Amino acid sequence: MKIKPHVDKEVIKAKTTKSQPVMERRDWWNASSKEDLANQVLANAAYLKQNQDYRIRQSILFMKLYGNVPLWNAIGTNHTKLSPGALQYQIDRPTMNVVQSCVDTLASRLTQNKPRPIFLTDNGDYKMRSLSKQLNQFILGEFYQTKAYQIGAKNFIDSGVIGDGCVQVYEDPTEKKVALDRCLSTELYVDQNDAMFGNPRQLLRFKLVDRSVALESFPEKEKLVILAEKAYPDPSATAQTTISDQIMLVEAWHLPSGKEAKDGLKTIVCSSGILADDSYKRNRFPFAFMRYTPALLGFWSQSLAEQLMGTQIEINKLLMTISRSINLLGVPRIFLEDGSKVSKAHFNNEIGAIIPFRGTKPIFEVAQCMAPEVYAQLQRLVEYAYQQSGISMLSSQGEKPAGLNSGASLREFDNIQSDRFAALQQRYDDYYVDLAHLMIEQAKEIAIRDGKYQTIYPDKDGAREIDLPAAKMLEDPFVIRCYDTSSLPKDPAGRKEYIVEMMQAGIYSPQEGRRLLGFADTEQVDKLETAAEERILKYLDQIVEDGKYNEPDPQMDLQLALKLVVQYYNLYVPAKLSEAKTQQLLDFKIQIEDLIKQAQAPQAGPMAQPLAGQPSNPMAAQIANSPQAVPQPLPQNPMLPNS
């Protein structure tokens, strides 16, 4: 038997893993069939959600910072841990939540203003100006109906916590009206390459919907809704412990590639198929975004919570260190000499107790818990957090700086703080401008389909219905600007100073000023002061808008009415005002001139003439016709001076 020598060989064993399939770019808007469209939308949605899972983890961290929830075990994507029912444990740690304080202070400061989108025309004629006025009333009515300002305040807090506040403008399928739906930015997905410069061409949204609501919204797709798989907020066991029956809808948009392109598409799919799809002709998505700090690259913004995250974590660490040190050392201790005859039972809370001892007297000491530098560092971090967010600590506490007592100084301090947030305030105004554009576009589509669209407009005379102007007239370009509805200072000292300044300028009389100083409500005085002019303007507006004629009366300010009607004539006649309305303006002017002439007629003499049909007074006639006495000259006397 031949024995072969043993030779050591190096054997390398490679463990192979199953390679994940490479997701190819899919143009789902060019799908060949409905089934192919549904499969491609779901495939793209699953791919984006899997590859952008970090956004959900980051948002959960920021929401925990704002909600004062410990960050332990915060790596998962379990949204249900943030629900109130899951937070039943007691937070046994000291807290100083500067993230929540800064976000809430900014929200209280900026959202108390109600930006009002105003449609303006550029050298437009009468019809254009009239149309812009109707649009202004219409959009305010829609804001009132959809609670846009309340949703905007929530979106502002969303932007401060997770970077972006989002609201979708859509048509309520049951009411056939424009509606708003607040959504978290974690429900929206865009491709990172497509959205590198902030202008993606496609966008997808995940939305959990109750199955019964989906059946009401898509009655013609009842079978697909019933067959759709049950869905949950996340794959955790906690999320699946529920009695609700929800399905996941994926809504996808693709913007048209050009003005004449026909590849714009909007579709809604579920796990069982397509629920709705239609062409999409707009050049923007139906979302208004409130962005806290826009990123230099990418679509999503940076939040205030993200900016303060490192500072907040360091504050939490110092608070825990201080708390543990105080619990460990911050109690009084008694030092007894070993072998002393002092009984421990004598150390009690009895008043005036006599403690006998022999030898060394017991020593009572309280050790220093923490070095002063630690407390100083904690205070520096808190101040730095407020400085980084641009908020003063006094503002977060609702206090004014010491020494600022006059209204002028308080207004100046308020203006200084407002300048710090000028860019943020501009983005907040732009949010409402975008929202106004989207609501007009959605209402226009409904009006084209149904023939009309109405809303309720609350004005100073009460609520009234407003019709959306003709859809063909909405093709003209408009410029929208936002104006703040707040005007007076918020603090009592500032309001008092403002009223005194108005009295000194002669705008308010001393009597009005004294009344307003008791209760600073200037709106009523302003209404009374402008009531005469407002009445004239209302009559003239009714003529040029509706052709409704109201005759002037002597109780009007006739000189002001004559001036205004001439101005209206010169303004609207060159702007192609109809002949009937032009004649009404001329008639209004003629009647005012007649009233002015009647008011300037000479007064009657001292003797009143008898009215027709009444007997005259014979005694008065006899006295009037009798000869009058001739006055005699005064007597002359050299002793008296002659006058």
Q: 350 or 626: which carries more pLDDT confidence?
A: 350
Rounded Cα distance between 375 and 536, Å, is 68
| Residues contacting 89, CB < 8 A, separation 6+ | none
Q: With bands split at pLDDT 50, 70 and 90, how would you rate the model's confidence at 74? A: very low
CA atoms within 13 Å, Cβ hemisphere of 319:
16
Q: Which one has a higher pLDDT value, 325 or 511?
A: 325
Average confidence (pLDDT) over 54-80 = 74
* 533 contact partners, CB below 8 Å, separation of at least 6: 557, 560, 564
pLDDT digit string, tens, across residues 302-325: 999 999 999 999 999 999 899 888
| Mean pLDDT to the nearest integer, 337-347 | 77
Q: N- to C-terminal Cα distance for the chain? A: 178
CB 423 within 8 A of CB 390: no
Q: 84-93, 142-151, 418-427: lowest mean pLDDT where?
A: 84-93
pTM to 2 decimal places: 0.71
Contacts of 77 (CB under 8 A, 6+ apart): 53, 56, 57, 60, 234
Q: What is the pLDDT of residue 88?
A: 47
Given a cut of 80, is residue 91 above it in pLDDT?
Answer: no
Poorest-pLDDT segment among 51-65, 120-134, 615-629: 615-629
Reported as a single tens digit per residue, the pLDDT across 132-190 is 777 888 888 899 889 999 999 999 999 999 999 999 999 998 888 999 999 999 999 99
Q: What is the mean pLDDT of residues 622-630?
A: 53
Give pLDDT, residue 75.
Answer: 41
Per the prediction, the chain carries an average pLDDT of: 79
The rounded distance, in Å, linking the Cα atoms of 82 and 62 is: 11
Res. 41: pLDDT tops 60 = yes
Q: Identity (one letter) of the amino acid at 583?
A: Q
pLDDT band for position 643 (cuts 50, 70, 90)? very low
pLDDT, average across residues 443-464: 77
Q: Does residue 547 register a pLDDT over 90?
A: no
Q: What angle do CA 342, 346, 347 make, to 5 degrees?
A: 105
- Asked whether the CA dihedral 229, 233, 236, 242 is positive or negative, the reply is negative
